[in-house]
Structure 1
Amino acid sequence: MEHVFISYMHENMEIVDRLCQELTSRGIKVWLDRNDIKPGSRWKDAIRGAIREGAFFIACFSKEYNKRSQTDKTYMNEELTIAIEELRQRPTDRVWFIPVKLNNCKIPDRNIGGGETLHDLQHVKLYQDWDVGIQRIIEVIQSESPEPTGEMGTDSKSSGNFADQERAGTKSSQSNRDQSRELTDWVFQQADDLVKRGEIDKALKGYSHGINLDPYRPFAYNNRGAAYNIKGDVNNA
């Protein structure tokens, strides 16, 4: 399937990483700015194209968004504007824009056309019950995703198509694993950088989060132990 675009505030990076991991572990490809914008590309054009080409748009609202959007500029507002323009051109009987609450926040009263606002789109409260919320998101993505076209026959040509589909499925699974590994690598790199800046408590959370994503990284346990040593916590080192 096509990707799912994730719009979020960088202050909510940790919980958004967790959301992405939940989706990718179920074979859903996500598009995240810090992972999918190629070096040297025009990042605004990349974001605009990714929103318009995405199978779904998930808007992650939070208290941090509410605060920033009222006092400072945030590019998430621009992403919402592009997404709303795209939403207006899509069929109203198909889900595309999925509002998500990461914490007890307000969803902006943005006009989406036809006398409706973002409040008229059913949202998901991840902060109330994470597992139930994730399951609801996955169910709507799977149920609303376009079905593959073409019919399966019994002749050699159809068998060839089936083989192609199997290879495509294998390639897709490998892509999802690669994407998940890239995400975990990024989490560990951020934790390493936090140690260098002396932000040990944040680094420890980062290492633990990365280990939860992928527990088969021996160096991560070593680095976390070293961070505990720096903190003076020899019991956990």
Structure 2
Amino acid sequence: NFWGCNLALRTWNVTSLMGNELGGCGILGVGIWLSVTQGNFATLSSSLPSLSAANLLIAVGTIIMVIGCLGCVGAVKESRPLLLAFFILLLLIFFLEIISIMLFFIYQDEIDRYAQRDLKKGLQLFGTEGNVGLTNAWMIVQTDFRCCGVTNHTDWFEVYNATRVPDSCCLEYSDNCGLDNPGTWWTAPCYERVKDWLNDNLVALWIFALCTALTQVMTALKIYVFCNKLCHVFDIKAA
């Protein structure tokens, strides 16, 4: 009958939308956790100081949750305008992701050069007032990745106007070890070390991106099918 069919359609569509909603909650939760636990750990970028991993996750998670709520409300209220808005936003996000990936591969060399130039500019703020987050970030990166500077340890010479590096560049940490012989410092460039680490984890990142894209496409298709079924149900009711 009409009411049984209507209830089944609502339940089916709301359940399918909960995957997106839970995914957004998960991303938002990870972002908040990182924001709380990382303290003053900020981005290494000098031109985009607020663009950290935690902030990105919080923003993405919030957007996904808002869009998911829009879809759920549209499904419960059987509102075609809301469902259509959800469908369009979902497709828009999907195409933006595809375009972003294409642009990344096309302009990868330019991105590398810009990133290195921006990171070197950020070195000038190391240890200065109001840049505790950036300073801590460099100390942690150099210690964890066993590297020094953006392209090499000489990047720090321009910062200090002397032949010295931060103590986090030392093979064995001790106070003022950055003033010792260069043979006691890490020589690997941090940019390449971090880039290698990202490449090592690229498979997991691609799997996550693929799953996200497939979820978006499947949800969009379900919304399309639901709208068609919704029209059919209204036709039955009218008859």
**TM beyond 0.5:** no
TM-score (norm 2): 0.26
Larger radius of gyration: 2
User: Which structure ranks higher in relative contact order (CA pairs < 8 Å, sequence separation ≥ 6)?
Assistant: 2
Greater share of residues in strand: 1
TM-score (norm 1): 0.27
